[in-house]
Chains A and B, each alone.
Chain A
Amino acid sequence: MTLKRSILFLCLFFLCLACTRSKDPKFYDDTGTPAYGDTIITGSIGEPSNLIPILATDSPSHEVASFVYNGLVKYDKNLKIIGSLAESWDISKDNLSITFHLRKNVRWHDNTPFTAHDVMFTYKLIIDPRTPTAYAGDFLLVKEAKVLDDYTFKVTYDKPFAPGLISWSTAILPKHLLEGKDVTKSPLSRRPIGTGPYKFEEWIPGERIVLKANKDYFEGSPYISRYIMRIIPDTATMFLELKRYGIDMMGLTPLQAIRQTDYPAFKREFNKFKYLSFAYIYLGYNLKHPFFKDKRVRQAISYGINKKEIIDGILLGQGVEADGPYKQDMWAYNGNVKKYPYDREKAIKLLQEAGFKKANDNILYRDGIPFEFTILVNQGNDVRIRCAELIQKRLADLGIKVKIRVIEWASFINEFIDKRNFEAVILGWSIPNDPDIFDIWHSSKQGKKELNFISFENKEVDELLVKARHTLNIEERKKYYYRIQEILAEEQPYTFLFVPYANVAVHKRFKGIEPAPAGLMYDFIKWYVPEKQMRYR
């Protein structure tokens, strides 16, 4: 009898297991009411390296750290700066100093109260030459930092510095745990203690990191009680894990988003979200090259490239044409600039004006030199390699012979970009939330390892960049950036190709997700799973 009963029990148990994956396509449609509980499992290709964010440069580290730590300020869904650890802030009349008023009831995960001394300590740690951090740049511009009282912190700059405010979104570290110790050897890099919505629970090397909800979080406890990041180094494996419900959330490639997830069982279990990612891909020219010096040549190539074909063919439609260094939903974006729709006739005309003539071999020549150049692409980036191929084909049509060379990343940078040993490259920039693009376009930034590697020089852009950087008034700043975009559109130092969409699949039981200009995760603590649909207890 007992045996029979246990078998019956087992059967029931398996039946219950089966229940959780209901075949009812409407099962997850009920948005229910927010409830505390359940776990979200995400996947990461790389393992975080260091959970003290100022010491890490890899994105998995920053992703985990963003749940554990807070900055003084942060971006809201529309990329407006709002307070986080700082309740409010005042900017002095001369625009030189910011006074932060900090929240008073915040505690570190070990229950020690958070104060302005922690902020001061973090600042000092970042600018300390013994700290191997990559993020000291913005903070070295601070002239003076002062703790006015336990909950007031004031920084002063030499000149008004527009990206100054948002630079304080850097994670604030606990003074009481780090002071007087070598930060590089701190146990916090493996077991972080912060003020954020999630507390660190465990890290199994090479396998996963587990965080649990911080019930006392100052903005209210997050609904989802656990966050697990699994380390899955292979993207194909990660995709299979997603299909097997081993992970709940994953960024999809265009092919996965459009073709490989378009079946009923997947649609029953997952929602797909889409937003413009913070990056653009471009074809950059070495402006020292005799042919590319001429604006008309660059414009001609921009006319000669069919961006729509690239987006439709390679990204399967998952992108929008770029026409400048910003994406369409940012406040600094100026849509009203010169555009370059595919126009073969115009391209040919411009090239003729620039002095190129077609010879018998169907290739353009100027002063006996054929128009040939090589596009460099970094290895492992399939989208960019295929872009280069489409560009090659379109330019051949104009009479320009393009070669493609694929090179491993480190040599790409060190041997070709740093030594200016290239004619054209296909690369991408991530678009910063703050529109300051000084480092990429200012003529002073042409040194070794600096980012204006195409040697772009334009006096007006230089002036505007500096002005924009030192103006805090958004409307005024906007004017400068609008003008910069007009000049860049006219000059075409890059042919701006596209801004890709980020496609993310999230399991349907998670509710309250809204894609916005800031992406998906900005309001993660408000995500919830209705009681009935919870999978993990």
Chain B
Amino acid sequence: MLRYLIKRILFMIPMLLGITLISFIVIHLTPGEPGVIESEMNPKVTKEVRERIRAYYGLDKPLHVQYYMWLKRIVKLDFGVSFASDRRPVIDKIKERIPVTISINLMSMVLIFIIGIPIGIYCAKHKDTTIDKALTAFVFAGYAAPTFWLALLLMMFFGVYLEWLPISGLKSFNFSELSFFEKIIDIAQHLILPVCISAFGGLAGISRYMKSSLLEVLRQEYITTAYAKGLPEDVVLKKHALRNALLPVITIIGLSVPGLIGGSVIFESIFSIPGMGQLFYMSVMSRDYPTIMGILVIGAFLTLLGNLLSDILYAVADPRIRIG
């Protein structure tokens, strides 16, 4: 087990290197350059000024030199300074945005599991009933409906029409003047729509996963045995079937770790949530190479880590894998 682990971890190094190399080349291949993109076609920005800015960013050096310089910094965990005109350290920009994204994603993930798993179980238990079909239709509708459209409709209904919920942002603008209790209510009000909408889209995956996995287990002979020896349905389901059926769900938990830091651009833009999705989008649009690379490296690292984690969890939960 330990040797396997070490092997896996060592294998991650060339993988990460490869990922960064490919990303670095691809983002530098896209037309356009940082800093000057916004001022493209601006009569006040002369050619000399442009050259000066290029030299300032080190963009006048060949690509492999630029990559080497970047790599030299990154092994020391130095993500560099953003090319956006705020010129702040990349790590600060990421740090500032990561908590928001993670907390919203965590909340919606918890909501997805809390609602999605029971739906899956119910559908497996009552397969092919009307309610099963209705629930399936419901979760698929959530999966299929474009987030931005749904978000705008709900914002119009709850925000403009009923005036119950705030439309966008995370806090009211007089937040600092509120009492502690009011602050909690204020944040909760702001979070209801974004969390619910993002959870709605994720229900389909987890509930279908749960349903098919449970159905699979219910077909097994040991379940028949359990029924045969006269156990009540509740016990069969909870004690024998569910435990085994939950195994694949563990994989999903592991795989959703990298998803926790990646926010959706459209979603965050619509709700004016200053999260990672927006940061990534803006850095791509302004060709802010250090920020793009920073986010990609963190994302790649978490993906690899998530894969490893789900493998380990799987082995811990299922003796067949651990031993076999």
Contacts and interface: CB of A to CB of B under 8 A. Distances in A.
Given A50-B87, A236-B270, A240-B160, A207 B46 contact: no
Nearest to B96: A205
Contacts of B160: 240, 243-244
B169 A134 contact: no
Contact of A207 (B35, B170, B282): B170
A409 B45 CA distance: 17
Interface stretch (B196-204, B247-255, B271-279, B300-308): B271-279
Nearest to A183: B87
A58 interface: yes
B85 to A, nearest CB: 4
Contacts of B84: 49
A90 interface: no
B152 A137 contact: no
A224 B37 CA distance: 35
B211 interface: no
A138 B35 CA distance: 20
Contact of A234 (B38, B48, B87, B270): B270
B97 A134 contact: no
Given A57-B42, A244-B160, A414-B32, A208 B96 contact: no
Contacts of B129: none
Interface in A25-73: 41, 46-47, 49-50, 55-58, 61
Interface stretch (B17-25, B49-57, B114-122): B49-57
Given A50-B85, A58-B85, A129-B52, A244 B159 contact: yes
Given A47-B274, A50-B87, A206-B100, 8 more contacts: A132-B35, A135-B44, A135-B49, A232-B272, A409-B37, A410-B31, A415-B31, A450-B47
A432 B44 CA distance: 10
B270 A230 contact: no
A230 B85 contact: no
A231 B44 contact: no
Contacts of A41: 173
A136 interface: yes
A411 interface: yes
A404 interface: no
Nearest to A206: B274
A113 interface: no
Interface in B284-305: 287
A449 B50 contact: yes
15 contacts: A47-B274, A133-B49, A134-B39, A134-B49, A134-B53, A135-B44, A136-B49, A207-B170, A234-B272, A236-B148, A240-B155, A240-B159, A243-B160, A411-B32, A414-B32
B136 interface: no
Interface footprint category on A: 35 or more
B212 interface: no
A237 interface: yes
Nearest to A228: B173
Contacts of B41: 413, 417, 427, 429, 451
Q: How large is the interface on B (under 10, 10 to 19, 20 to 34, 35 or more residues)?
A: 35 or more
Contact of A58 (B38, B48, B156): B38
Interface of A: 41, 46-47, 49-50, 55-58, 61, 129-130, 132-138, 140, 184-185, 189-190, 205-208, 228, 230-234, 236-237, 240-241, 243-244, 246, 409-411, 413-415, 417, 427, 429, 432, 437, 439-440, 447-451, 536
Most buried by A among B37, B46, B86, B170: B86
B291 to A, nearest CB: 12
A410 B287 contact: yes
B167 interface: yes
B40 interface: yes
A134 B173 contact: no
A134 B30 contact: no
Contacts of B272: 206-207, 230-234, 237
B49 A207 contact: no
Given A205-B96, A205-B274, A237-B272, A413 B85 contact: no
B14 interface: no
A246 B85 contact: no
* Closest 5 pairs (CB-CB, A-B): A206-B274, A410-B32, A414-B31, A233-B269, A57-B39
B56 A132 contact: yes
